[in-house]
Amino acid sequence: MMNFLSDETRRDPYPAYAQLRTRTPLLYDPHSDTWMVFDYEGVKRVLMDHEAFSSLVAPPSAQTSQWLVFADPPRHAQLRALIMRAFTSRSVAGLEPRIRALAHALLDPHIERGEMDLAADFSVPLPLIVIAEMFGAPIEDQPRFKRWSDVIMALGYTLEGGEAAARVHREFAEVSAEMKAYLHALAGQRRAEPREDLLTRLVEAEVDGARLTEEELLGFFQLLLSAGHETTTNLLNNAVLCLLGHPDALAQLQASPALLPSVIEEVLRYRAPVQAMFRLTRREVSLHGQVIPAGKLVLPMIGAANRDPLKFRDAERFDIHREPNPHIAFGHGIHFCIGAPLSRLEARVALSVLLERLKDFRLASPTPWTPRKALHVHGPTHLPLHFTPGERLTSSG
């Protein structure tokens, strides 16, 4: 059995994925009592077939049971409709000037030195600040958001149980209580004095007479804070890793900045920020000549599906001109990531600013990078860079 938890494999899981797709695209891990699916069509089926594969992974008593990603129809449709009333494409697009200003402000202290930890100094704080500001949180509360996000993402380590998993669950329960009190107070302020922010739109959203409950509001807050933050952080870091590993692609992008959207889509495919999702079998399910019993945890491995040679020509090649590019980095079907437009916008703006201001950037250390905490995501915890100093710009707004 391959060790998917080792840092070495998590840095580069793709050789293991390729071997398993050919040998056994459906793999059972007796240690965690989990089934993993590695091929594109198999992963799509798991994500689409709600009669066989349920999203109700979290027990009803758990706070995560309120998260949109862990809801099945018809409740999922009701929750998503309410959230979409607030999380509109227009409101997301309107964030572009602020994202650009934040990107410049985060780079300013490091430009003259010609070095920075891209992850810690840029890719982590940028989406975190955006989310905090979307909720209208005071700027002094942003470190609290980072601590909450870290605890939530640590839930990815609890699949195998044990004392470490129990400790993570205790910490998450404590953080959930803290977040609930915080959000209750903030939502109360918005009801009394509405603002032009996401939280106001969420508390005011109504569909067929229904509104989000406090538990549902907390669930979306936790989901956006963790998944929304982590996805963009990894997308930015992985984009830089891809470009550094493929200098020809970097040169083409620098010569033709209009290629950036296509580059982002290929990064999403080639180094998917989220490598796996979670489902639970409702009944016995036949897949790839095997039978998955009812009530079993299934991991559709998105990172493996996005490199399936039966779906993608030259699947192991980083091709910034790939067309079409039907990757499923943001999921598929009714659970397609609600924050995908925000993540794509943040990546497009942040990477364009990086390319403008960081010249000849390169890795500052030969030491292999350490993977981020959550086991189902892909990207570095730290990414030290050296670069040629550019002009120091100060932006605000």
The confidence score (pLDDT) of residue 351 equals 98
Q: Which of 6-20, 48-62, 155-169, 304-318 has the lowest mean pLDDT?
A: 155-169
Asked, as a colleague might, if the bond just before 74 is cis with ω within 30 of 0, I would say yes
b/e string for 360-393 if b means 16 or more Cβ within 10 A?
Answer: ebebbeeeebebbebbbbbbbebbbbebeeeeee
To the nearest whole number, what is the mean pLDDT of the chain? 92
Q: What CATH code is carried by the domain that includes residue 259? A: 1.10.630.10
Q: Is residue 1 part of a domain?
A: no
- Let me know if 192 is exposed, middle or buried by CB neighbors in 10 A (0-12, 13-18, 19+): exposed
List beta partners, residue 27: 36
| Two structure tokens written together for 333 | 């079907």
How many structural domains does the chain have? 1
More confident call, 376 vs 330: 330
Torsion of CA 309, 313, 316, 317, to 10 degrees: 180
Q: Please give the Cα distance from 367 to 171 (Å, whole number).
A: 32
- State which residues form the domain around 117: 7-388
Q: Is residue 122 part of a domain?
A: yes
| Two structure tokens written together for 204 | 């005011």
Q: Is residue 395 part of a domain?
A: no
pLDDT surpasses 90 at 95: yes
Q: Is residue 260 part of a domain?
A: yes
Half-sphere exposure in the Cβ direction for 111 (13 Å, CA): 18
Segment 104-127, tens digit of pLDDT: 999 999 999 999 999 999 999 999
- Percentage of the chain lying above the pLDDT 90 cut: 78
The confidence score (pLDDT) of residue 397 equals 41
Q: Is residue 199 part of a domain?
A: yes
Segment 233-272, tens digit of pLDDT: 999 999 999 999 999 999 999 999 999 999 999 999 999 9
The confidence score (pLDDT) of residue 396 equals 42
| Two structure tokens written together for 396 | 């605000």
pLDDT surpasses 90 at 375: no
DSSP at 177: H
368 pLDDT band, cuts 50/70/90, is: very high
Q: Is residue 394 part of a domain?
A: no
pLDDT surpasses 70 at 229: yes
Phi, psi dihedral angles at 226 (to 5 degrees): -90, -65
Q: What is the mean pLDDT of residues 323-335?
A: 96
pLDDT surpasses 90 at 313: yes
| Two structure tokens written together for 384 | 């030290």
List beta partners, residue 274: 377
Q: Is residue 364 part of a domain?
A: yes
Q: Please give the Cα distance from 102 to 107 (Å, whole number).
A: 9
Q: Is residue 393 part of a domain?
A: no
The confidence score (pLDDT) of residue 158 equals 57
CB 348 within 8 A of CB 338: no
